[in-house]
């Protein structure tokens, strides 16, 4: 798609904007740039052997802490899908991705090589709009191939503490299963081949927590709302991963 083409609205009413109009992920604000590396200072006189272990102990401890901060996603943060997800497996090769921020300051998320969300450093996100707000999420950036590098998230919680996190979507959904709770007997034949379609993956930043959800519109053979002829489908957003920072 050319960078000069305007944004378009798909048939489902979801904004499909031109990705090329967004800044590249490496074009980060000045305050996010890595510290400038400086040349190491060499000692002209060697350390006595007796103090070498103690001299390098702080370096070892600092390296160990950094390694823990960059460790893979904790297994305990992942949530098991509904039983029907594995009993009736539907897989996906692409996904949609959306970002939602509440109760935070300066929320910024980079995923798939672009800014999915870029608030001003002092911009305060609102409260969630309702108690069931999660179930209304769909869309975002469409048709992302599985899987880009981890999402990079930067924000401040309401107490003013700055946070940075990397959320590996590919690790959370490594089995590429679409989460659902529709029995096979009630599932309409709406797909062919090994892939069932593109689910919507949503990343929520809420004060000190990051939550990752997955949802998919699954056509059904029966009405999900009795008497409503337009309810032959289910769309549930399931919490798949959560972590508090």
Query: Which tokens go with 164?
Result: 């940075």
Least confident of 74-83, 161-170, 225-234: 74-83
Single pTM value for the model: 0.68
pLDDT of residue 132: 85
217, 239, 228: which is closest to 82 by C-alpha? 239
157 contacts 104 by C-beta, under 8 angstroms: yes
- Positions of E strands within the chain: 8-9, 15-16, 94-102, 104-111, 114-118, 141-145, 151-157, 162-167, 200-206, 209-219, 233-244
pLDDT of residue 187: 87
pLDDT of residue 108: 98
Least confident of 18-27, 72-81, 170-179, 182-191: 18-27
Does 86 or 41 have the greater pLDDT score?
86
Does 206 or 49 have the greater pLDDT score?
206
Q: CA-to-CA distance for 58 and 19, rounded, in angstroms?
A: 45
106 contacts 123 by C-beta, under 8 angstroms: yes
Sheet holding 151-157, edge to edge: 114-118, 104-111, 151-157, 162-167
Q: Which of 4-13, 79-88, 110-119, 193-202 has the highest mean pLDDT?
A: 110-119
- pLDDT-based confidence at residue 131 (cuts at 50, 70, 90): confident
């Amino acid at each position: 798609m050319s960078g000069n083409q305007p944004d378009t609205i798909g048939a489902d009413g979801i904004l499909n904007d031109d990705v090329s109009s967004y800044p590249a992920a490496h074009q980060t604000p000045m305050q996010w740039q890595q510290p400038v590396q400086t040349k190491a200072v060499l000692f002209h006189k060697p350390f006595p052997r007796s103090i070498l272990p103690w001299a390098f102990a702080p370096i070892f401890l600092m390296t160990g802490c950094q390694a823990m901060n960059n460790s893979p996603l904790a297994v305990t943060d992942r949530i098991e899908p509904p039983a029907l997800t594995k009993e009736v497996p539907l897989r996906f090769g692409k996904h949609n991705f959306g970002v939602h921020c509440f109760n935070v300051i300066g929320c910024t998320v980079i995923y798939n090589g672009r800014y999915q969300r870029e608030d001003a450093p002092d911009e305060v996100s609102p409260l969630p709009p309702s108690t069931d707000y999660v179930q209304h999420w769909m869309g975002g950036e469409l048709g992302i191939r599985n899987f880009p590098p981890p999402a990079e998230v930067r924000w401040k919680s309401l107490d003013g503490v700055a946070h940075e996190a990397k959320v590996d979507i590919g690790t959370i959904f490594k089995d590429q299963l679409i989460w659902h709770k529709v029995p096979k007997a009630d599932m309409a034949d709406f797909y062919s081949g090994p892939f069932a379609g593109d689910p919507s993956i949503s990343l929520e930043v809420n004060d000190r927590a990051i939550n990752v959800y997955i949802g998919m519109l699954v056509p059904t053979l029966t009405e999900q709302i009795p008497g409503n002829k337009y309810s032959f489908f289910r769309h549930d957003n399931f919490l798949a991963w959560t972590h508090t920072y």
